[in-house]
A = this chain, B = another copy of it.
Amino acid sequence: MRSVTEENYLKAIYRLMEEHEGLVNTNAIAEKLELKPSTVTDMLKKMAQKNLVHYSPYKGALLTEEGRKSALLIIRKHRLWEVFLVEKLQFSWDEVHEVAEELEHITSGRLINRLDEFLGFPQIDPHGDAIPAANGSIRQAKQTLLYEMAVGSIVQVSGVKNTDRQFLQHLDKLGISLGSTITVDGIADFDKSMEILIEGAPEVRISAEVASNLLVQKMN
């Protein structure tokens, strides 16, 4: 049985592997988990012994196949619980993360599969992230940052890169949610802020900061 601690390491390493190619370094893990690097070194050695990570001292770590499977299962649980919280318990998308951080460590496999069924086998969580299947497969739709889009583009919001409460609440205030259709009407040379139209509502201006945290898909 994996400890909650191990599960958190697995998840962190998985996320870091997604972010950049190649080995994940000790400091990055330490930062993500808010731990000291020396603590992480210790843990990596233990996890290497358990065959959860490949670890080369001074170089970095990678998940083994077993580690990757475990990480995906945790992410599956996390995202399914988020869907539950939003759809069934009326939580808003900025409130679910912390609670799901706890729920994801509940071990029962039966529970999570029944929950999946109860929710109607959702494909994405409230932030637009794909939910891994029970067998560990995950379909990653290619997404672009709104920031990369040219004037005139029409896109659909498919996810957020940042899930901090503050950012999500800001999106709510702007009237942007998952699935919103956005037309890019202008980009300021000065600060790259964007004038956008959100489904016929009055035009608003968003900062480059916002645009570079919004994942979108081009509409045909």
Q: Please give the residue numbers on chain A whose beta carbons come within 8 Å of chain B beta carbons, in ascending order.
A: 85, 88-91, 95, 98-99, 102-103, 106-108, 110-111, 114-115, 118
Please tell me if the beta carbons of A118 and B85 are within 8 angstroms of each other in the complex: no
Which residues of B have CB within 8 Å of A118? 88-89
A99 with B90, Cβ < 8 A, contacts A85-B111, A111-B85 known: no
In the assembly, what is the distance between CA of A168 and CA of B114, in Å? 21
CA distance in complex: A183, B106 (Å): 42
**Minimum Cβ distance to chain B for residue A91 (Å):** 7
The CA-CA distance from A114 to B107 in the complex, in Å, is 22
CB neighbours (8 Å) of A111 from chain B are: 85, 89, 99
Q: Which residue of B90, B95, B98, B106 contacts A103 across the interface (Cβ within 8 Å)? A: B106
CB contacts (< 8 Å) of A89 on chain B: these are 111, 114-115, 118
How many angstroms between the C-alpha atoms of A108 and B91 in the bound complex?
A: 12
Knowing that A89-B111, A102-B107, A103-B106 touch, tell me 6 more A-B residue pairs with CB under 8 angstroms: A85-B111, A89-B114, A91-B110, A98-B108, A99-B108, A102-B108
Closest CB in chain B relative to A43 CB, distance in Å: 20
**CB–CB B106/A102 < 8 A:** yes
Task: Looking at the assembled complex, report how far the CB atom of A90 sits from the nearest CB atom of chain B, in whole angstroms.
Answer: 7
